[in-house]
Structure 1
Amino acid sequence: MCCKSVFCYAFVAVFALSCSFFLSGCQTADSATPSYLQWQSVSINFKGPDTSETANINPFTDYRLWVTFSNGRTQKVVRGFYAADGNAANSGAREGNVWRVRFSPPQPGVWQYEATMYTGNDIALNNDPSAGKTISLKNSSGRFEVKPGSNASSGFFALGQLYTQGRYYKTAGNDSYWLKGGTNSPENLLGFKDFDQTYRITGQDRDGEAQSGTQIHHFSPHRQDWKPGDPTWQDGKGKNIIGMMNYLAQMGMNSAYMLTLNIEGDGKDVWPYTSPTSFNRFDVSKLAQWNILFEHMQSLGIAVHIVIQETENERMLDGGDTGPMRRLYFDELIARFGHLPGLIWNLGEENGPAEFSPDAQTDSQRIAMANYFKHHDPYEHPVIIHTHSTPDLKDKILTPLLGLKALDGLSFQVNHREQVNAEMQKWIKKSESFGKPWAITMDEIGEWMEGAKTDDVDPTHDSLRRHALWGSIMAGGAGVEWYFGAHQAHNDLTAEDLRSRHNLWSQTSIALNFFNTYTRYWAMTPINKQVSNPNVYAYAELGKHYVMYLPAGETTTLTVEDANSYTLFWFDPVNGGALKPHREVLSGKQITLPKAPSNNDWVALISAVSKQ
C-alpha cells in the first residue's frame, strides 16, 4: 500500500525495499522483481539488532553493515547505517531494529545485492572483511531491476551523477557540462528549527565575523513557496526550508552550500551527533530529516554542496588527523548521503592556517582527508576544498595539493572581486601543469564584511556581475555561489529570506543561460591580452567564437587569429532577453567594436562567418 510519507515501504519477509517519494510508485508485496529508475534512490531495510542511539553496545561503532551491489562487471560495496525504527524522520525514534542501505544505481539492468553484518568492538572502523563476529540476516540477498531514466525523473535523478572532467563539472545521465549557480549563504542552512535536536550552543559576536544572534533559522518568508505534494515530516514540519529550495530552483539556481558541522565555529548550531559533545553517537531522526531536504533538492536539480567543517574546528576531531572519530563522521556522511547523484564533498571552509585561525590542519592531513573520501565513497563524488581569500595564503596552502588525484577542484574565496579573473586563471593553469586540472568555482566573494549585498542596498550588483560572475566564468571557472557577507542584513549566519538577493539570482541565471545556450564554454579560453581595453574580459573558442564583457559605455579592439568575416550580436547581462544583431559584418584581424546599444554593461558575441 502506498503512503504519503517520505518513504513507501513494501516489506518482503524481514527486509523492506522502499522507494523515495520521487519514484513512480511503490513495490507491492507480490512484485517478483522490484523495479526502479536509474540514478534514483533505492532504500533497502534489514531487520538487525534491536538497539538505540544510547545503547551500551554502540550501534555506530560496534556494528558494521556492508551491502554489495552487482550488475555484470559493475560492483559497488555500500556501507549501511542504523535507522532506529525505520521511520525516524517522522517518529523521532531513537531506538529500533531497522538497519538501512541507500543505493543510487548508476546503470540499467538487473542488480543483485548481498548484505553482511558484523559486530565487535569498533568494528565500524575496521575494514578487514574477516574482522568481527558475523550476525545472521535473513533474506540478506535479493535483486531488483533498474530501468533507464525517463520523463518520470527530475533534477539530478534525470541528469545523473555529477562529476568533474578537467576544469568543469559534468552530469553522467546526459553526458553534458554543468555550470554552477547557487547560494553560499547561510552557511548554517541546517541550523533550522524543524530539524530534531537543533539549537544554538551560544551566540556568535566577535570582531571579523557575522553576529548570529540567539535564534536559529525559521525561513518563514519561504513558507509561501512550499507546494502541495512537497515533502514534510512530523505532520507538516519542514515547509519553510523546502519552500526555500523551491524558490532557488524557480530562480534557475542549481547549488546550495551548507556546513554539516559548525561546533566551535560561527553558527554553533549544526552537527550530526546526538549532542555537541558526543562524537560517536549520531542523531538518526535529524539525519533522516536532512535526507528529506537533500532528496528534494536533488529532484529540483539543486546540488548538495556539503562542507564538512569550518576553519575554527578543523582540528576538533582527532587533532586534524583522519583518525577514528573523523573516519566515523565521514563514513556516516557517505552512508547516509552518498546515494545523492548531485553531491559535492568540500573538505572544509577556509581550510588551513591563517592569522585569525592559526590552529589548523597540515598539508598531510588535508591530503589524508581527500584520499579517504575518494577511497571510501563508492560513487567517487567530486572532492574539493574551500580556500582562504588572499593570494599569499592560497600559494602556501594550495601548492602542496597540486597534482593530488583525489582533489577535483577548489571552492574559491577572493577578497577583492577585481582580482577574480586573474586569480582563477592562475590556479587553473597551475593545476593543469601538474596533470590534474581543477574545477574551480567562485564561491565566496569578498570583502568578508560585504559579500553580496541585499537588493535594496545594491540593486544592480554591477561589480559582482562584472567581476565575480562573468569574470570568473570567462576565466575558465565552473560557476558561482553567492556569499552574503558578515555585516549585511540577511547575512551569512542570519539570512532568512533569499528574496533579499532576488536581482542577483536573476542575473546569475541570465549568465548561466547565455553560456549554456550560445557557447561551448568548455572549449573556450581566456584571451584578455587580445583586447585593447584592460577593463574588458575576453573569452574565446579560437577562430570560431569570441565573447567580450564590456563595462558601461566602454569599447575595445579585438585581435583575432584570421582575417575572416564575423557577425556581431549584443547581449544584455542585466536583463537578458534575445541576442541583438549588429547589421554590419565585421572583418579583419583587428576588429574595433562599434558602440553598444546603450551605456549599460553589454556582452559582445562575435562568430566567424562560415566559409562556403
Structure 2
Amino acid sequence: MRYRHLLLFTLGIFFTSHLGAQVSITGETKKWHKITLTVDGPKTKEDDRSNPFLHYRMDVTLRHDSATYVVPGYFAADGDAGESGASSGNQWRAHFAPDRTGEWTYTISFRAGSNVAVTDNHNAGEPLPNLNGLRGAFTVSPTDKTGKDLRGKGRLLFHGRQYPVWAETGEIFFKCGTDAPENLLSYADFDGTFHDDGFRDELVKTWEPHLRDWNAGDPTWQDGKGKALIGAVNYLASEGLNSFSFLTLNIAGDDENVFPYVSHDNYERFDVSKLDQWETVFTHGERLGMFLHFKMSEVENQGLLDGGDLGTQRKLYYRELIARFGHHLALNWNVGEENGKWRGREETPVQTTSQRLAMARYFYENDPYRHHVVIHDGQEFYDIMGPESKYTGLSLQTNQPNFTNVYPDIRYWLDLSKKEDLKWAVAIDEPGDAQHSLVPDADNTEQQHDNARQNALWGGLLAGAWGVEWYFGYKHAHSDLSCQDFRSRDLFWDQCRYQQEFLEDQRLPLADMSPMNKTTSGENDWVLAQEGEVYLILLKRGEQGENILSVPAGEYTVSLFNPRTGKYDFRARPQGAKDGGIRLPVSEEEVGMDWVVLVRGV
C-alpha cells in the first residue's frame, strides 16, 4: 500500500477524502433515453501534470435482472464545458441508454495510476476513497417518444444481420444520407485551437447557408453558437435523409482541422468543451432520426497513433469516443476510411492485417453496446475475413463516374461474407468516383443524377446493401472538403426521399429476400425477391418490349412506381400468373427511363 501511495505522489495525483460523495443522475430515466451519472471526483484540468484522461479511470457497471453493462466514464471539467468553455473542474460522468424498463443498479469503479485508463485490467491502479464502490439504483420507465426520434425506435442492432433492425420496433432500417463533406466537424463555432493553428485554417467552415434552417427551440451553445450546423442537420432531415458521416480525426489528412484533442500535436489530452459541443450536434441528429457514421481515421493518418498499433494513444482515443458518444442508438464505428495499403504513397505507416483486426477487437471488447464496426477500402477486405474477425460489416467505395460497379461490388462482398459465414451488413458509402460521384444539381448533365439514382440508389437496394451514403467529387463546387451547403444536391435528395417513402409504405421483408435476376426475361433487370411472396424489380432505362416475370402459379398484385417522382402509375393491380409468368408493365410516360415494379402474392 505504501508503494501505491508513493506511485500516485510521483505521478502528481492527489486526492482527498470525499466523505458522503453523491452520484447525480440526470436525464429522463426512460428506456432508450440518455441517462447521465455524475460524481464529484478529483479536481484537475486538461493540461494537468498528471494527465486526467490517462491516469484516472471511471467505469460504471449497470445491472438489470437480465442484463449487465460496463460503461466507461470521462473527465467532464466543470460539467457544463460546452457552454462555459471550461478546461478544469471536478466533474466525472458516464452516459447510459437502458434497453429495459424496471430497476437498474449501478456500481462505480474509480481508480488512479499510471496509464490506468488504457490497461486491460479494470482493477489496475489505486481505488479512490469514497468514489470507488459507490452504489445506487434508479427505475426506468417506458419511452414516450414517437415519430423520427430514435428513442422511440430503440438501439439499431446489426450482429449477424444483413439488414439492421430497431430493437424496440423490430423494423428494418435502410439508410440514405451524406458521406460528405468528410470535414463536417471543421466548424468555426466549435471551441479549440484548430481555427488558427496554421494547418489548413482556410477550410474551417461556417455552414452559413444553413443558418436559415435553424428553428426556434433548437439547441445552441455559448450565446447562440452552433445554429448553422444544427440547421444543416435540420435540412438533411427535412429532405428525408436519415444519416450523416464525419471524420473525428484528420490530423495529417486532407483537412487537418478535425480532432478531439487540445492541439494538433498532442494525442493524449482531449478538448472537453469541444467534445461537449459535438455531442450537442449528435444528440440533435438522433432526435431527428439520424444514423451517425463515425469515421475515425483516413488513409493519410492511419498510422498516426502508435504507428498503427493498438497502443496507448489509440486505446485512449477509442475509449473517449465510446465514453462520450457510445450511448447513441444508431451509429457505426468506421475504424479507417480508405484503410490499408493501396495507393503506393503513404504519409504515415500503413496498418497491417493484425492491426486492422485489433481495432475491431477493441470495440468488440470495450463498447458496452456492441455497435456496428466496419472498415473502408482502400485495401480490399480479404485479410479481415477470417473467424477471428470482429467486424460486423463493410463500408464500400467504388470508382466509376456512372456508378456501374456499385451493384456487382455489393453482391461480390455480400456473397463472399456469407460463404465465410460472417453474416455481414454491407453499405455503399462512397458510390461513384473521386472526381465526380454525386455532382451538384447545377452540374447534372449527361444523366449523372439518372445514373446515381438507378445504379447506386436503387442498385444498392436491389443488390442487398443496407444503405447508401453520397460522396461529393473534388472536381465540382461543394466538394468533399469545400461543401457548406447541402442544398447543392437538393433535386437529388428528393429522389432519395421517394425511395425512403416507398420503403416505409411497402414494408418489404428485406431480410427474407434474395437477388433473383434470372426470374425475368429482361437481360439487365435487377430483382430482389422472396419467391412466391414478393418481387422488387428495377426495370432499367431504355429497355422496351415484353418482359415476363417467372412466378409460381397463383394470384398477385402488381404496382408500378416512378422513382423520379415518387408517384405510382398504379398500385396493387390484381393479376394472375399465366403459364408460370406475369407480364411486367411498361409505362407509356417517360419511355426509356427506369421504373420500379413491385409484385406481391395474394
Q: TM-score, normalised by structure 1?
A: 0.89
The 2-side partners of 1:579 and 1:402 are apart by 47
- How is 1:141-152 mapped onto 2 (pairs within 5 angstroms)? 141-151=135-145
- Within a 5 Å distance, the mapping from 1:401-412 to structure 2 comes to 401-412=385-396
Deviation of 1:405 (Å): 4.8
Aligned to 1:554: 543
Distance 1:92 1:127 in 2: 32
Which residue is 1:86 aligned to?
79
Give 4+ residue runs of structure 1 displaced > 6 Å after superposition: none
The one-letter amino acid paired with 1:595 is V
- Summarize the alignment of residues 22-33 of structure 1 with structure 2, pairs less than 5 Å apart: 23=28
CA distance in 2, matches of 1:387, 1:579: 40
Please say if residues 156 and 299 of structure 1, whose CA atoms lie closer than 8 Å, have aligned partners that are also in contact.
Answer: yes
CA distance in 1, matches of 2:461, 2:367: 29
Measure the CA separation in 1 of the matches of 2:331 and 2:183: 18
- Of the structure 1 ranges 186-195 and 125-134, higher mean CA displacement relative to structure 2 is found in 125-134
The TM-score normalised by the length of structure 2 is 0.90
Partner Cα distance (1:467, 1:497) in 2 = 25
Residue ranges of structure 2 left out of the alignment (5+ in a row): 1-19
- Residues 152-193 of structure 1: CA deviation (Å, up to 9, x unaligned): 786221111112142111111212111011110111111111
CA distance in 2, matches of 1:455, 1:402: 43
Q: Is the 8 A contact 2:551 2:577 kept in 1?
A: no
Q: What's the offset of the Cα at 1:567?
A: 3.1
Residue type of the alignment partner of 1:588 = D
Kindly indicate whether residue 327 of structure 2 is the aligned counterpart of residue 336 of structure 1: no
Whether the 8 Å contact between 2:54 and 2:114 is mirrored in structure 1 is: yes
Tell which deviates more after alignment, 354-363 or 73-82: 354-363
**Cα distance in 2 between the residues matched to 1:587 and 1:566:** 11
SS, match of residue 297 in structure 1: helix
Closer, same or farther: CA 295–357 of 1 in aligned 2, 3 Å = farther
Q: Is the 8 A contact 1:39 1:341 kept in 2?
A: yes
Does structure 2 retain, via aligned residues, the 8 Å contact 1:454–1:488? Answer: yes
**Mapped partners of 2:180, 2:510: distance in 1:** 27
Distance in 2 between residues matched to 1:214 and 1:510, nearest whole Å:
37
What per-residue deviation string (whole Å, max 9, x for no partner) do you get for residues 491-510 of structure 1?
00111111111122111121
- Contact kept, 8 Å, 1:60 with 1:281, in 2: the verdict is yes
Residues 567 and 586 of structure 1 are in contact (CA less than 8 Å); yes or no, is this contact kept in structure 2? no
* Partner residue in 2 for 1:195: 190
C-alpha deviation, 1:14, in angstroms: 4.1
Q: Against the structure 1 CA distance between its residues 74 and 586, is the aligned structure 2 distance closer, same or farther, given a 3 Å change threshold?
A: closer
Measured in 1, the distance between the counterparts of 2:387 and 2:180 equals 30
Q: Name whichever of 480-489 and 161-170 sits farther off.
A: 161-170
Greater shift, 290-299 or 158-167, is seen at: 158-167
Matched, 1:107 2:100: yes
Q: 1: CA distance between counterparts of 2:240 and 2:471?
A: 17
The 8 Å contact of residues 573 and 603 in structure 1, kept in 2 or not, is answered as: yes
Distance apart, 1:258 and its partner CA: 0.6
Counterpart-to-counterpart distance in 2, 1:514 and 1:370:
35
Contact 1:202–1:268 (8 Å) recurs in 2: no
Distance 1:158 1:362, change over 3 A: same
In structure 2, relative to structure 1, the CA distance for the partners of 1:341 and 1:530 (3 Å cut) is same
Structure 2 counterpart of 1:27 = none
Contact 2:71–2:94, Cα closer than 8 Å, also in 1: yes
Of 521, 530, 533 in structure 2, the residue corresponding to residue 532 of structure 1 is 521
Structure 2 distance, partners of 1:543, 1:73, is 40
* Residue in structure 2 matched with residue 65 of structure 1 by the alignment: 58
Residue 590 of structure 1 deviates from its aligned partner by 4.1
Rounded to whole Å, the distance in 2 between the matches of 1:318 and 1:421 is 37
Report what 2:584 is aligned to. 593
Structure 1 residue runs without a partner (length 5+)? 1-11, 24-35, 205-212
Contact preservation (8 Å) 1:386, 1:411: yes
Give the aligned partner of residue 28 of structure 1: none
2:176 aligned partner: 181
Letter in 2 for 1:331: R
> Is residue 418 from structure 1 mapped to residue 404 from structure 2 by the alignment?
yes
Matched residue, 1:155: 149
Question: 1:200·1:267 contact (CA, 8 Å) conserved in 2?
Answer: no
- What is the identity percentage for the equivalent residue pairs of Structure 1 and Structure 2? 38
- Mean alpha-carbon deviation: is it higher for 286-295 or for 450-459? 450-459
Structure 1 residues 534 and 202, CA gap change in structure 2 (3 angstroms): farther
